[in-house]
Amino acid sequence: MSVERIYEIEREEKDYPSQILTQIATTYPFLNDEEYKKYMEKATKIEKEGALEEINELIELLNNPHASIRKKSSNYETQKRSLDPERAPSSEVIDNILYIKIPTLSGIKLTDLEDQFLPYKDSTDGIIIDLRDNGGGQEAPARNFAQKYFINPESNDMGTNIFLGPEDTGLQRVSLPTESNSENPYYKPIVILTSTNTFSSAERFIATMKAGTNCVLIGTKTKGGSANPIESEVVIDGETYIVKIPTWRFVLAGETRPIEETKIKPDIYYDKEDIIQYSIDYIKQISRAKDEGPRTKITENVLKISKEIDPKNKLSGLELVEEVCRYIRSMMPSIEILDKARENRPIPKIDKWDTSADELLDENNLISGHTRVRNINGCTQISYITRALLLAKGVPSLIVDTIEEDWLKDNPNWKNDEKIPVSGHYFVNVYIYDEKKWYTINPGNKEERIHMHEDYSMGNKKYIEFAKGRDTIDMGYLNMEDRLNKLEYSINY
């Protein structure tokens, strides 16, 4: 809908408030006629004694944090274009995670960002970009930084710019796709820290990264602002003021209202002082979940089976996880079939821990007379093949060893009584990139396979985590005795 820009204001003489109101009426992108008319109705009823107070009221009515009037400082032009050394980007490596703090984008150059990134990008396990105190500045260097090193080649919608077109063309809405200038974009985990101080071009950088990478936002919602402001100078009572009126309004992909209203919400809300350590731990877990374990390696046997699961690669996220679980269920023998197979052909290696996904998926492990059913017994072995196949399909995951809660309460002397069998279970935690979220799965179950993260339960039984890793070797044990010692240690310490 086009927005009419026709209004009449009767004044005996042209003054600064009239000039600012005219500028707002002809350049500010009101979203529709109703929004425009409501603003003009309120603006023409302002009754303030001084010009400065009247301009302030005109700006406040816009309810846009980019609209402002401030006294012009003697070094205003220099401040706009130069980088304050105390607010320059800085970096450090913490627990092999690259932490880059970018306090401002004012006066910044692409090389300022590259200098903090390039020396460490290959040797570290992930990156944290801290924008919590970044109130914006020049958008281009940050956008170029994202495009050159992070954005995936696949084009995605990052949002829509809304502005007034030339002459009588009315309100324009232009979709903004992501652009990539990198053949090999950064593939390691990315965390961006946000707060209510994160604003303007810093938010545009975040919008680009959200659309073009698998980054995770941790912190609080941003301030919310889109700009490209027009600046005007007014002199009131001998003082020079800078008036800024935004000419853009930006709508994030997936939203229907401007960013001034929606803000950018974090994927993980976190407002504690240890947010940097929290983010490091988050990245370390994802990195660990992407790595193979000694018993969950992506071997030829694993790859061969993984290609039979969703062969056209149409599935993703939890749908893909479900498909992997369904396939695994089809490989599992009934107790009768397994017992009969072991009677007819003794199997030399049946220890739950002394095996691997590769051995379990090998054709030599097929049960005679079956083309898919294998000698697979128990949740330990199921967890091995589940994790290996998930890794082969690009899904990060970790195996979780648990003990039944009631069993622990009912058997306080379990370690000294060899007749008491341990009641435990192996679950698998999976990370879904599209949702930026962890889930817990019970891959061997026919029902209740997908759980909320760290919901270790089966029916009415609750289980307690005592070890987690890429496989049991990574957790620190090779056999049942090692496992019981680990359990005892975790209970006592």
Number of neighbours of residue 65 by Cβ within 10 angstroms: 16
Please answer whether residues 119 and 98 qualify as being in contact, where contact means their C-beta atoms are separated by less than 8 angstroms.
no
Residue 481 CA to residue 477 CA, distance in Å, equals 8
Residue 11 CA to residue 255 CA, distance in Å, equals 41
- DSSP label of 165: P
| Cα separation of the two ends of the chain | 67
Question: Which token pair is 36?
Answer: 């425009």
Task: Encode 204-216: b = buried (16+ Cβ within 10 Å), e = exposed.
Answer: bbbbbbbbbbbbb
Question: Which residue in 432, 39, 452, 312 sits closest to 441, CA to CA?
Answer: 452
From the candidate CATH numbers 3.10.620, 3.30.450, 3.90.75, 1.25.40, the one assigned to the domain spanning 292-492: 3.10.620
**Cα 351 → chain centroid:** 40
Residue 139's SS3 state is helix
How high is the pLDDT of residue 183? 85
How high is the pLDDT of residue 201? 95
Sign of CA dihedral 143, 261, 232, 102: negative
C-alpha count within 13 angstroms, C-beta hemisphere, residue 265: 6
Question: Which residue in 475, 474, 454, 473 sits closest to 465, CA to CA?
Answer: 454
Please answer whether residues 323 and 309 qualify as being in contact, where contact means their C-beta atoms are separated by less than 8 angstroms.
yes
Q: Would strands 171-177 and 157-164 be described as parallel, antiparallel, or unpaired? A: antiparallel
Residue 155 CA to residue 161 CA, distance in Å, equals 17
- DSSP label of 332: P
In sequence order, which residues have a C-beta less than 8 Å from that of residue 174 and are 6 or more positions away? 160, 161, 163
How high is the pLDDT of residue 492? 63
Q: Outline where DSSP puts E strands in 165-238.
A: 171-177, 190-194, 216-219, 230-236
For the chain, the structural domain boundaries read 76-230+248-288, 292-492
Q: Would strands 230-236 and 216-219 be described as parallel, antiparallel, or unpaired? A: unpaired
Please answer whether residues 475 and 380 qualify as being in contact, where contact means their C-beta atoms are separated by less than 8 angstroms.
no
Cα distances (angstroms) measured from residue 59 to each of 63, 70, 209, 434 = 7, 11, 31, 40
At 381, give phi and psi (nearest 5°).
-70, -35
Q: Would strands 397-404 and 461-469 be described as parallel, antiparallel, or unpaired? A: antiparallel
**Cα 439 → chain centroid:** 15
Question: Which token pair is 15?
Answer: 């003054």
pTM, two decimal places: 0.85
Question: Which residue in 114, 93, 112 sits closest to 104, CA to CA?
Answer: 112
Helices 16-27 & 51-62, crossing angle to 10 degrees? 20
- DSSP label of 284: H
Please answer whether residues 416 and 484 qualify as being in contact, where contact means their C-beta atoms are separated by less than 8 angstroms.
no
User: Consecutive 10-residue runs of the chain (493 residues): their mean pLDDT?
Assistant: 36 69 92 94 88 93 93 73 84 98 94 97 97 94 96 93 86 93 92 97 96 96 90 88 93 94 96 97 95 96 96 95 95 87 64 83 91 90 97 97 88 69 91 93 88 93 93 86 73 62
Instruction: Fill in the amino acid letter for 194.
Output: T
Query: How many residues does this entry show for the chain?
Result: 493
Number of neighbours of residue 73 by Cβ within 10 angstroms: 11
Question: Which residue in 155, 158, 152, 255 sits closest to 203, CA to CA?
Answer: 158
For domain 76-230+248-288, give the CATH superfamily.
2-enoyl-CoA Hydratase; Chain A, domain 1 (3.90.226.10)
Question: To which residue do tokens 């600046």 refer?
Answer: 231
Residue 155 CA to residue 134 CA, distance in Å, equals 27
Burial of residue 410, with CB atoms counted within 10 A of its CB: 0-12 exposed, 13-18 middle, 19 or more buried: exposed
How high is the pLDDT of residue 4? 38
Question: Which residue in 253, 142, 155, 246 sits closest to 207, CA to CA?
Answer: 253
Residue 164 CA to residue 2 CA, distance in Å, equals 9
How high is the pLDDT of residue 78? 61
Please answer whether residues 200 and 135 qualify as being in contact, where contact means their C-beta atoms are separated by less than 8 angstroms.
yes
